[in-house]
Amino acid sequence: MFEIRGRLHRLGMTVITAVLVIPFLLPMYTMARGSLQGAGWANYRAVIALPGFVTYFRNSAMIAVATICIVYVLTMMASYGFSKLRIRHKEIYFWALMGALTMPEVVLLIPLVSMAAKTGAAGTVWAVIIPLAALQIPFTVLLTRNYIDGIPDSILEAARIDGAGTIRQFWSIILPLTKPMAVAIIVLVLINCWNAYLLPLVLLGQEEGLMVVTQLPNSFKSMYNDDQTKILACAVLAAIPEVAAYVGLQKHFERGMTAGALK
Amino acid sequence: MLPAVLFSTGLVYACVGYVGYVSLMPPRWRPVYPPAVEGFDSYAQALDDRLFWTSIWHTALFFLVSYALIVILGIVLAALMHSRIYLPTIFKVIIFVPSVIAPAIMAPVHRQVFAADGPINWFLERLGLIAVEANGTRVWAGWLQGLLPKIGLGDVTPNWIQPTTSLWVVVAAQVFSSVGIAFILFFASMGQIDRETLEAAKIDGAGNIRVLWSIIVPATRPTIATLAILHGITSLKLFDYPYLITSGGPAHSSEFLGTLIYNVLFGTSSRYGYASALSVMLFVLALGTSVLMSLSTRERRPRAPKAAGRV
């Protein structure tokens, strides 16, 4: 974009960029440095030795995996239906689904709490998995429907002539052809589940053994009297899986997280 | 198709229906009371509530400022990354990593960044802008103490999580988390700018700033519009950062609709009826934005992004 003449100019532009990314580095630096102050690495040892430390991660992972499965299966079926099948009033259903696209979680708190209590889901991870999945599906369907719209009807036509039914077409044509979309959905839902804070906070409460990763820093706060260094050590440990996943799968993350807007 | 529609819309609309139902009950209603539909008391109370309007005002302010910052930083960084600078991959990772980490995890870090003894104040101290008093409190350096009241910033002290500045701490945190996505979007849309247009502009003598303003910005206009909608929704949904960094305070100075509803619901006196009325209004606002979003993705004209600017 910008024209760069000569090595000095190039270096200058690099310096400008470096200055501009300081605001992004500063919190990371503060986090890492703060977590090592005082007791040093012992902060980390203390956090890891916390009873139930692993359950935070296990709960988040469980919620994420279950939500991804539900969202993926339902999104694929729904998008196939919306895109290729003839169903009466399907546009109405589609707009009804899109109405839920931007639902703020806080709006759903009261009914979710009372529903969870009534159905017995309260106190189990399902109280979070179900609403998390329901809140993602409108968006993933919007994406996937657009994607499937791009698959030519003639392929399905040919399959039908060869005797493939609706289910066979879905299984043998739609699913393999939407693999790039599957990756995007997995990344998107994974991030949103792992980062979810409000729903687990309200629906799983602050009970021992039911907390998720995002509650790690805050639960430490109450337990250890605002020991800032250990809270920051918690933050580092909670952030590591995400950062590692991103650095390992850069392309997929960038594509997945921006899938909606890039279409 | 039906299972997904039933599952998703069923749950969501059942919830909205229930919230709507509760919102018609007395403001102080709770699930332990018998249901008693009373009317629109809660709505009337909300429209009278100064806090409700404060939250909306904060949301608007938050949206405008953070959106401007995100767009400017996103465009400039993407343009720099498209130029031949050193180590572009490392810069890209640095910019994008914050958008991967959960706001709830970063919140304590932002508290530390803006703490009285945090790195921002450390830096200002080194610049000689603030002084540390004997008892450890930080105050502006002498010359600033005289200047700030004159430019209307007399209430600002170098203690950032306080009524005059707490909203801007939340803005800073959100900008930190959101620029990554904007950057990737701008980076992608700049990839489609015609090289020849750029060359021609340069031959005509346009400098880098001119190229940025007259070619790059017009070419990325669809992305700028998309971001407005995405960020509008983020602003309406905002909860994690204000709740965990400032709890909406001090003195409600960083209250947003999300934190307001949460506090009405789980605060000292839990008023379910009132919280429901607030929720319904938030839902209507979000739905309006959602309709905008659907319309804009539907009508996305295949406008060639290489439409050249006037140079």
Please write the tens of the pLDDT for every residue from B112-154: 898 888 888 888 888 888 888 777 778 887 778 878 887 777 7
Q: What is the mean pLDDT of residues B21-48?
A: 73
Closest CB from A24, A107, A258 relative to B282 = A107
What is the domain class of A36-254 according to CATH? mainly alpha
Q: Tell me which of A103, A128, A216 to substitute to probe the interface with B (most B C-beta atoms closer than 10 Å).
A: A103
For A55-59, B4-8, B105-109, B191-195, which range has the lowest pLDDT when averaged over its residues? B4-8
| B76: in domain | yes
Q: Residue B7 belongs to a domain with what CATH number?
A: 1.10.3720.10
Domain count, chain B: 1
Domain boundaries of chain A, sorted by first residue: 36-254
Across the interface, which of B185, B236, B275 has its CB nearest the CB of A258? Answer: B185
Q: For residues A88-122, b (16+ Cβ closer than 10 Å) or e, as one string?
A: eeeeebbebbbbbbbbbbbbbbbbbbbbbeeeebb
| Cis geometry, peptide bond prior to residue B250 (ω within 30 degrees of 0) | yes
Q: Is the pLDDT of residue B10 over 80?
A: no
- Name the residue range of residue B60's domain: 2-107+177-298
Which residue shows structure tokens 């007399």? B154
> Which residues of chain B are within 8 Å of residue A10 when distances are taken between CB atoms?
84-86
Give a yes or no: residue B245 inside a domain: yes
Band (pLDDT 50/70/90 cuts) for residue B299 is: low
**Whole-number Å distance between alpha carbons of B28 and B42:** 9
Residue B152, in any domain of the structure: no
Chain A positions touching B181 (Cβ under 8 A) are 257-258, 261
Which residues 6+ apart lie within 8 Å of B158 measured at CB?
B116, B121, B124, B129, B130, B138, B139, B140
Q: Which of B2, B7, B13, B15 to mutate to test the interface with A (most CBs of A within 10 A)?
A: B15
Q: Is the pLDDT of residue B157 over 90?
A: no
- The interaxial angle of helices A109-119 and A126-149, nearest 10 deg, is 120
Please tell me which residue, A2 or B51, carries the higher pLDDT value. B51
For A97, the token pair is 């689904």
pLDDT at B309: 35
Burial B219-247 (b: 16+ CB within 10 A, else e): bbebbbebbbbbbbbbbbbbbbbbbbbbb
Q: Give the Cα separation of B27 and A96 in Å (integer).
A: 29
- B125 domain residue, yes or no: no
**CB atoms closer than 10 angstroms to residue A195:** 22
Select the residue of A133, A195, A217 nearest B108 (Cβ to Cβ). Answer: A217
**Alpha helix (H) residue ranges in chain A:** 6-20, 22-35, 42-48, 53-84, 90-99, 109-119, 126-149, 153-161, 166-169, 175-177, 179-195, 198-203, 216-223, 228-248, 250-257, 259-262
Q: Which residue matches tokens 């295949």?
A: B302
Which residues have CB under 8 Å from B184's CB, separation 6+? A254, A257, A258, B96
